[in-house]
Structure 1
Amino acid sequence: MVTTRRAGVEAVDRLEPLWLELHRHHRAVGGQALGPYVDDATSWRERRALYVGFLAKGGFACLAERGGELVGYAMVAVMSVSETQMPDTWQTGERIAEIETLSVTPDARGAGIGSALLDHVDEELRSAAIDDVLVGAFVSNTDAIRLYERRGFRPAWMYLQRLGGRSA
Structure 2
Amino acid sequence: MLIVRHARQSEIRLLAAIGLRAWEQAIAALADAAKMRRLAEQAFDTFLARHWHTVQLVEEGGRVRGWVAREDLDGTISDLWIEPEAQGRGFGSFLLAHIEKRIVADGFDTASARTHAQNASAIAFFQRSGYRVNWLSTAYSQKLDRDVQFIGLSKPLISDSIDAFPQNKFQEV
Say whether the fold is shared (TM-score over 0.5).
yes
SS of 1:157's partner is strand
Q: Paired residue for 1:126?
A: 104
- The answer to whether residue 113 in structure 2 is matched with residue 135 in structure 1 is yes
Of all paired residues, the percent bearing the same amino acid is 21
SS of 2:85's partner is helix
| Larger Rg belongs to | 1
Q: Paired residue for 1:65?
A: 59
Distance 1:128 1:11, change over 3 A: farther
Distance 1:4 1:144, change over 3 A: same
Residue-by-residue CA offset, 1:32-85 (whole Å, 9 max, x unaligned): 6xxx88532321222222233345xxx611111111111111121225xxxxxx
Q: Paired residue for 1:40?
A: 37
Task: State how far apart, in whole Å, the 2-side matches of 1:120 and 1:10 are.
Answer: 22
Q: Paired residue for 1:103?
A: 81
Q: Paired residue for 1:117?
A: 95
Structure with greater proportional strand content: 2
Task: State how far apart, in whole Å, the 1-side matches of 2:4 and 2:29 are.
Answer: 27
TM-score normalised over the length of structure 1: 0.71
Task: State how far apart, in whole Å, the 2-side matches of 1:160 and 1:126 are.
Answer: 29
Q: Paired residue for 2:159?
A: none
- Cα RMSD for the two superposed structures: 2.5
Q: Paired residue for 1:23?
A: 23
Residues 71-90 of structure 1 correspond to what in structure 2 (within 5 A)? 71-78=65-72
SS of 1:77's partner is coil
Residue-by-residue CA offset, 1:122-162 (whole Å, 9 max, x unaligned): 12222211223221122222221122122232212212258
Give the counterpart letter for 2:28 in structure 1.
Answer: A
Give the counterpart letter for 1:50 in structure 2.
Answer: F
Give the counterpart letter for 1:46 in structure 2.
Answer: A
Distance 1:38 1:24, change over 3 A: same
TM-score normalised over the length of structure 2: 0.69
Task: State how far apart, in whole Å, the 2-side matches of 1:14 and 1:158 are.
Answer: 32
CA displacement at 1:98 relative to structure 2: 2.0
Runs of at least 5 residues in structure 1 that lack an aligned partner in the other structure: 80-95
Distance 1:100 1:8, change over 3 A: farther
Task: State how far apart, in whole Å, the 2-side matches of 1:64 and 1:54 are.
Answer: 17
Whether the aligned pair in 2 keeps the contact of 1:73 and 1:104 (CA below 8 Å) is: yes
CA displacement at 1:100 relative to structure 2: 1.7
Task: State how far apart, in whole Å, the 2-side matches of 1:75 and 1:11 are.
Answer: 14
Whether the aligned pair in 2 keeps the contact of 1:26 and 1:138 (CA below 8 Å) is: no
